[in-house]
Amino acid sequence: MNSVAVTTGNYNRKFGMMIAVIAAVVGLIYGYDNGSISGALPFLTKQFSLSSTMQGAVTSTTVFGSIIGAIVGGRMADAFGRKKMMLWIALGYTIFALFSAIPLGIGWLLPVRFCMGLCIGTSIVVAPLFI
């Protein structure tokens, strides 16, 4: 009987650790995106001759996407399943991060950053539901 309790306790610790790691990664991705645009903005401003208004648009577009993603994330998780949504979010992060690296212009970057924001906002809601 003790071996069952020990096994269950180890499982609970591993599961708890997995939950903590997933939650930390979601926060890390959100912070990383904000930090990365701060470092890239001077280069984007020079390359695309951005006005201060466009600099603000590049920076805040992700936030607007995050707001919308957070609003619809719970409903999407209920409709499609939490695990499936986490996989789609991970795929979205990958695709939109790669698309962000393609310098096709500001007309390309704004929608890509908005879509990245959708992934971030959705993950903020779906990751805790998944956990």
For position 6, what pLDDT does the model report?
Answer: 47
What percentage of the chain's residues is helix, strand, coil (to nearest 5)?
90, 0, 10
Higher pLDDT, 44 or 7: 44
- Give the pLDDT mean for 96-121: 90
Whether this model's pTM surpasses 0.85: no
* Inter-residue contact 58 to 111 (CB < 8 Å): no
Nearest to 59 by CA among 39, 87, 79, 81: 39
Which tens digits make up the pLDDT trace of 39-74? 778 888 888 898 999 988 988 898 899 889 989 998
* Inter-residue contact 62 to 113 (CB < 8 Å): yes
Residue whose tokens read 């309790």: 5
